[in-house]
Chain A
Amino acid sequence: NAGVTQTPKFQVLKTGQSMTLQCAQDMNHEYMSWYRQDPGMGLRLIHYSVGAGITDQGEVPNGYNVSRSTTEDFPLRLLSAAPSQTSVYFCASSYSWDSGNTIYFGEGSWLTVV
C-alpha cells in the first residue's frame, strides 16, 4: 500500500491564481481531511469528509473547496490564492470518522503564494 499520496510536493503560485492539491489513499478509508500547518499554529483543519459525496468545513475553510466523488480521492482547491495561504498542507485519512482511529498523513505539500 502506498498510504496517503499528495501531489505536488512543492508549488509556487501568484496571487489570484487557482490550483488543486491532489490527495489519494489506497486503504479504503472512509474519513479524509485536509490540514494546514503554520509556524506556531499547529495543524488546523480545513475541510473533512466522512465518506464519498459528503464534505464539511473545519476550522479554517475560507478560500478552499473540496469534493469527494470517490472513496480514494479528496482534492483541495484554492480558488484565488492569497499570500495568507502560504503554508504546508497535509492530507490525512482514517478508517472511519470515529476519533479512536489512527490518522494516516501524507508527506505534505509546500505552497508559497507570492
Chain B
Amino acid sequence: SQQGEEDPQALSIQEGENATMNCSYKTSINNLQWYRQNSGRGLVHLILIRSNEREKHSGRLRVTLDTSKKSSSLLITASRAADTASYFCATDAVSSNTGKLIFGQGTTLQVKP
C-alpha cells in the first residue's frame, strides 16, 4: 500500500534549535498533510500542502513539497519543549476517489529545555 515514510524515526534537539523531519511517499498525490500527536492523545492537524504547491508556512512551521522526488519536509523553527511530540505525514492517492489518507510511521521529536 502507498505509505509515507518519515525520516528520522527519532530526533532529539535543544530548545531554540530547528527541527527538520522528512516524509517520502510512493505514488502521485493530491494532498499531503502533517499531523502532530502528543503522548497519549489523538492527532492534531498542523498543515496541508497541495500537489501544486511547493512551500507553505504556518507560524513556526514550514512545509515543502517536491513532487518530482515524492518527498516533503516539515521544519519547526526555534523549537520549544512544548513541541515534543510525534509528527506524522499523511498522503492520499491521485487514483483514490475516496479521500483515504495513509499515514507514515512518524518521527518522534524530543526538545530538551
Contact = CB atoms under 8 A, between A and B. Distances in A.
B43 to A, nearest CB: 5
A48 to B, nearest CB: 7
Interface string A23-52: 000000001010100001111110010100
Interface in A90-107: 90, 92, 94, 96-107
Nearest to A105: B42
A58 interface: yes
B37 to A, nearest CB: 8
Contacts of A104: 45
Contacts, number: 68
15 contacts: A40-B105, A42-B103, A45-B101, A98-B99, A99-B31, A99-B100, A99-B101, A102-B48, A103-B45, A103-B90, A104-B45, A105-B42, A105-B43, A107-B42, A108-B42
A103 B105 contact: no
B42 A90 contact: yes
List 5 tightest A-B contacts by C-beta distance, closest first: A99-B92, A105-B42, A97-B99, A43-B103, A42-B105
B104 to A, nearest CB: 5
Contacts of A97: 97-99
A102 B42 CA distance: 14
Contacts of A99: 30-31, 33, 92, 96, 99-101
A2 to B, nearest CB: 13
Contacts of B100: 33, 45, 48, 58, 99
Contact of A100 (B30, B98, B103, B105): B30
A101 B99 contact: yes
A45 B102 CA distance: 7
